[in-house]
A = this chain, B = another copy of it.
Amino acid sequence: MSLFDPLFRWEAVLACFSDRARLQGMLDFEAGLARAEARSGVIPAGAADAIAAGCRAELFDVAEIARAAALAGNPAIPLVRQLTALVAREDREAARFVHWGATSQDAIDTGLVLQLRRALLEVEAELTRLGDALAKLAEAHRSTPVAARTLLQQALPTTLGLKAAGWLDAVDRHRGRVAALQRGALVLQFGGAAGTLAALGSKGPDVAAALADELKLQAPELPWHTQRDRLAEVATTLGLCTGSLGKIARDLSLAVQTEVGELHEPAAPGRGGSSTLPHKRNAVAAPVVLAAATRVPGLVSTMLVAMVQEEQRGVGGWHAEWETLPEIVGLLGGALHHLSEAVAGLEVDAARMRANLEITQGLIFAEAVQMALGGTLGRAEAQELVEAACVRARAERRHLREVLAADQTAAKHLSPEELQRLFDPQQYLGAADVFIDRALAAHASKAG
C-alpha cells in the first residue's frame, strides 16, 4: 500500500491493478490460449492442462520480471520465459507449447482487458450506490428550498431535491456508459506477431473464437494491435464520469463554506481535522474528488495522444498506456467511493438554506415579480420596473417587497396578497417537482 493509495484510491478497484493482478491477467490469457489451442487441436490436450496449472501469479517473482522487463522492453517476455521454465519442470513436452502462436501484445492487452472487466464492474456497482443515495436525497428534499446560484450569485429559489436530481441524472448516464463499455470496448486481443495469426496456419480464427469463449470475452472482427480506440474509449468514458463527480464535489465544497453552511460531509472521529486549527472540520471527500477531476483529464489526453501507434506495434504509444489507463480507473474509483460515502452520510441544514434565501432581502424573487408583472406590463417594462426597484432596495438596504409595495405601478398590478406570495420560495419552483419525478423514475427503471 502506497502512502496516498487509501486517500486517492479505492481498495476494490486497486486490487484489480496490483502487480500480481497484472501478472494474473496475462497468465489467464496464457492459460486460456493453451486450452483454446487444445480444443482446436493445435496443441495436445495434456499440454494445455500442464500450462494452465502453471498460470498462477503467486508462483512468479514480480521483482525479477520487473527487472527483466526493463531489458526486454515489456513484462510479457520474461513472464513467458518464467512460465515456460515452470511448466518444463513438470512437463518438458508441454513447455514447448507455452504462448504458442501469440505475441507479447496479445498477452498484455488481453490481460489488461480482463483486469478492466473486473474493475469496471466495481465502478458500475458503486455508481449504482451513489445513484441510490442521490435518489434518496432528491426524494427526501424535494420540498426543501435552497438558493439556485448562477455565476455564484443567488438567482432564484430551487430545491435541494432538484439539485440532487440533476446530480443523479448525470450519474445514471455514466452508469449506462460504463455498462456499455463491457459490451463494446472490452474485447479479446489475439493476432500473433503481426495481426495475421500466421503462426497458426489456417486455424487462427478457430483458436481466436475458442479463446474468446474460454475468457468469456467478445471476439472482435479482427486483431486490433495498433487500433487503440476501444481502450481509449474506456479512458474517455471514465474521464466524463470523473468530470461529473467533480461537479458534484465542487457544489459540495461551496455548500460547506463557513458563509454558506448548507451541507456538511459526514462527521467521523479523525475525519477532516487540521494539524493546527482546533475548530476546523474540513471536507475530505470534496478535495479528493476534485483532485481526481483535476488529474484525470490530463491522463485522458495522454491516452488520446498515445493512439497514434506505428504500423503493427507502436513505439512508445502502446507503452504510454500501461500505467495511464489503470491510473485513470484507480483515481475514478477513489473519487467515486469517497463521494458515494459522503453523499450517503450528508448532513443537510435546511434552516440555513432557508436563512440564506433571505440574504438578498428579496432580490432573489425579482424574476418572480417580473414575470408576474410581465404578463400585463410586458417583459421589457416589467424588467425595467423591477430592475429599478432592485437598485432602490439595494441602495436603501430595504427588502424588495417593501420597495415594491410602495411603488405605484407595481401596486396597481399586484395586490398585497399576491406580493406576499411572490416572495415565498415554495411558490416559485416551476417544474422542479416534475423534473425530480422524471429523474427518479428514470433511475428506478434503470435499476430494475
Contacts and interface: CB of A to CB of B under 8 A. Distances in A.
A193 B192 CA distance: 42
Interface residues of A, number: 189
Interface in A410-433: 428-432
A438 B204 CA distance: 14
A171 B90 CA distance: 47
Contacts of A333: none
A254 B435 CA distance: 29
A293 to B, nearest CB: 5
A42 to B, nearest CB: 10
A59 interface: no
B315 A383 contact: no
A98 to B, nearest CB: 7
Interface stretch (A66-74, A114-122, A125-133, A342-350): A66-74
Interface centre among A96, A102, A276, A293 (most CB of B within 10 A): A276
Nearest to A223: B435
A139 interface: no
Contacts of A167: 227
A400 B364 CA distance: 33
A182 to B, nearest CB: 16
Contacts of A251: 310-311
A327 to B, nearest CB: 9
A442 B222 CA distance: 11
A444 B44 CA distance: 39
A210 interface: no
A40 interface: no
Given A317-B290, A432-B196, A302 B312 contact: no
Contacts of A359: 258-259
A306 interface: yes
A198 B107 CA distance: 50
Interface in A151-208: 151-158, 162, 165-167, 169-170, 173-174, 177, 192-202, 204-205
A281 B169 contact: no
A246 B308 contact: yes
A239 interface: yes
A5 B66 contact: yes
Contacts of A103: 150, 274-276
B254 A311 contact: yes
A63 B1 contact: yes
A395 to B, nearest CB: 12
A380 interface: yes
11 contacts: A3-B23, A3-B75, A7-B66, A77-B275, A151-B287, A153-B283, A156-B193, A198-B430, A227-B247, A278-B383, A287-B319
